[in-house]
């Protein structure tokens, strides 16, 4: 399959739909975990909050990265490149907005800058 630099509108629409759905679901879950009223059974304990948020970040970023791989395999080079940029921007935003969850994610993924 030869790469198509300019993708069809359907490819852009499908990618945008997946992106918006993943970002909206992750943002909703992260907001619930961060601002959950105490005492509800669905609220994570403050001790477990960073782990739970790191899991949500990892799953969301994995789905977006998988979308980039699918776009690349299908020959949608520009869509795949923009997906990689989106993942990089969201990683940067997560690092600033949720530093403890991002640090937890980095430690679980063994991406720390200092050697162990």
pLDDT tens, 99-112? 888 888 888 776 55
Q: Is residue 42 part of a domain?
A: yes
pLDDT single digits (tens) 29-75: 998 888 887 777 778 777 888 888 889 999 999 999 999 999 888 88
Show the domain range for 20: 9-108
* Overall average pLDDT of the 62-89 stretch: 91
SS3 21: helix
SS3 of 4, please?
strand
Give the pLDDT of residue 98: 87
In a domain, 1, yes or no: no
Question: Is residue 76, in this structure, part of any structural domain at all?
Answer: yes
pLDDT at 116: 46
Question: Residue 78 domain-assigned?
Answer: yes
> What pLDDT score does 110 carry?
65
Domains identified in the chain, total number: 1
Q: What is the pLDDT of residue 4?
A: 59
pLDDT greater than 70 at residue 5 = no
> Which parts of the chain fold into alpha helices (H)?
9-35, 49-73, 77-97, 99-108
């Amino acid at each position: 399959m030869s790469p198509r630099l300019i993708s069809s509108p359907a490819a852009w629409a499908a990618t945008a739909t997946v992106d918006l759905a993943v970002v909206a679901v992750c943002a909703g879950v992260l907001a619930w975990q961060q601002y959950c009223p105490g005492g509800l059974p669905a609220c994570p304990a403050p001790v477990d909050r960073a782990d739970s948020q790191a899991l949500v970040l990892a799953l969301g970023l994995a789905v977006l990265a998988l979308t980039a791989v699918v776009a690349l395999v299908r020959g949608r080079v520009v869509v795949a490149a923009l997906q990689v940029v989106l993942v990089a921007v969201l990683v940067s935003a997560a690092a600033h907005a949720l530093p403890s969850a991002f640090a937890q994610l980095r430690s679980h993924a063994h991406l720390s800058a200092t050697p162990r």
